[in-house]
Amino acid sequence: KGKLVETASSSVARSDVEDGGQRDINLDHGDPTMYERFWKQMGDKTTVVISGSQYISYFSDITNICWFLEPEFAKTVIRLHKLVGNAITEGRHIVVGTGSTQLYQAALYALCPPDASEPMSVVSAAPFYSSYPLMTDFLKSGLFKWAGDAHKFSQDRPYIELVTSPNNPDGSTRKPVVNQKDGILIHDLAYYWPQYTPINSPADHELMLFTVSKSSGHAGARIGWALVKDQEVARKMTEFIEINTIGVSKDSQVRAAKILQAVADSCDRVGTGPEEVQPFFDHSYILMEKRWNQLRAVVEKSRLFSLPNFSTAHCNFSGRNFETQPAFAWLKCEGEIEDCEIFLRSHQIFTRGGEHFGVSRKYVRISMLPRDEMFDLFVERLSEIRS
């Protein structure tokens, strides 16, 4: 239960309940509440007021292929990508979705031929994002089917490969692994932002997915966007969303636009006078850096666990040289512990085990994005675990 959607409530952990003196620490979902503090500091700068007479129509811009895309949201997406330098927007169609989750499904619909004799195989290199198999096979489509780990895919027929970079769950920087001539790629770039990883070049792929959930942290707005090169693919993705939900909430798009504008403004106006606000990506980078330092220190000392190592790279956006500091920690239990999820659960730390990501139970994925208090409690609890 609660495995399909990252932010769904878990049936096992009660994060705010005292239990025999020890609090549950629920880091199973990637709920980005870490960002709350920054947005509180911003006060009313991102407050949106919408009157009853606004946004009544289903339509936003009937001249656009994606006719339910709010022009203000589209403009802001382009501005932010240009500023950060993490994706090419020229020559791309923007398709907005109810989270990148809806866009993933729209992309599968758009990329599969409607009249193939058998469903298209969908693969991703393990460990892969645990929702991909669930989302792919949920409705038992005749168009596509989940075919598992891309490393093990050898059939010589068309396929779709999901390339998630940095990857959820392990933070690795990725490229396609199958590399057959008729392969179709979806690049899920939810975490290609400078608080998580050095931005070394603007991503320039056929179909790229982004989301406010992991950029500004507003998962509850349910807004994602796709940058799509091929016009027919953009049209079919729009058609999917039309039939699925007749468009995407305008209220949410307007709110997301306001928030992403504030992100861009904060980075554009570094240190200019009394109204100075900390640049969003500085705030979030510093917080991620601090958390990774805290976690690595405890893991090194414990010798019960290990974490992946990343190489240092230069970030063209911030000018910093740093190692990827992912939104999730991919923790491995060393030694005899065979099931890391069960082991941590015995210490009331709730995580997601490796089998959900197509690998061994020795691994767990731990969210690095909870509120400060929960993260500090987690590090403290982990430091108390002895073999």
Q: Does 249 bind ligand PMP (CB under 6 A)?
A: no
DSSP states along 15-47: TT-EETTEE-EE-SS---GGGHHHHHHTGGGG-
Residue 168 or 249: which CB sits closer to ligand PMP?
Answer: 168
Q: Does 164 bind ligand PMP (CB under 6 A)?
A: yes
Q: Does 136 bind ligand PMP (CB under 6 A)?
A: no
As measured in angstroms, the least distance from the Cβ of 129 to ligand PMP is: 4
Structural contact between residues 229 and 113, judged by C-beta atoms closer than 8 angstroms: no
- Selected range binding ligand PMP among 19-27, 40-48, 99-107, 172-180, rule: CB under 6 A: 99-107
Q: Does 100 bind ligand PMP (CB under 6 A)?
A: yes
Residues of 12-28 as b/e, b for ≥16 C-beta within 10 angstroms? ebebeeeeeeebbbbbb
Q: Does 6 bind ligand PMP (CB under 6 A)?
A: yes
Q: What character string, x for contact with ligand PMP (CB under 6 A) and - otherwise, covers 216-245?
A: ---x----x---------------------
State the DSSP code for 119: P
Residue 227 φ/ψ, nearest 5 degrees = -105, 120
As measured in angstroms, the least distance from the Cβ of 104 to ligand PMP is: 7
Q: Does 211 bind ligand PMP (CB under 6 A)?
A: yes
Structural contact between residues 89 and 78, judged by C-beta atoms closer than 8 angstroms: yes
As measured in angstroms, the least distance from the Cβ of 6 to ligand PMP is: 4
Q: What's the farthest any 2 CA atoms get from each other in the chain?
A: 65
Residue 185 or 385: which CB sits closer to ligand PMP?
Answer: 185
Structural contact between residues 175 and 197, judged by C-beta atoms closer than 8 angstroms: no
Is the omega angle on the peptide bond into residue 169 within 30 degrees of 0, that is, cis?
A: yes
Residue 3 or 45: which CB sits closer to ligand PMP?
Answer: 3
As measured in angstroms, the least distance from the Cβ of 277 to ligand PMP is: 25
Residue with tokens 């019960």: 304
Q: Which residues contact 331 (CB under 8 A, 6 or more apart)?
A: 299, 305, 306, 307, 340, 351, 363, 364, 365, 366
Of all residues in the shown chain, the one whose CB is closest to ligand PMP is: 99
Contacting residues toward ligand PMP, per CB under 6 A:
6, 30, 99-101, 129, 164, 168, 188, 190, 211, 213, 219, 224
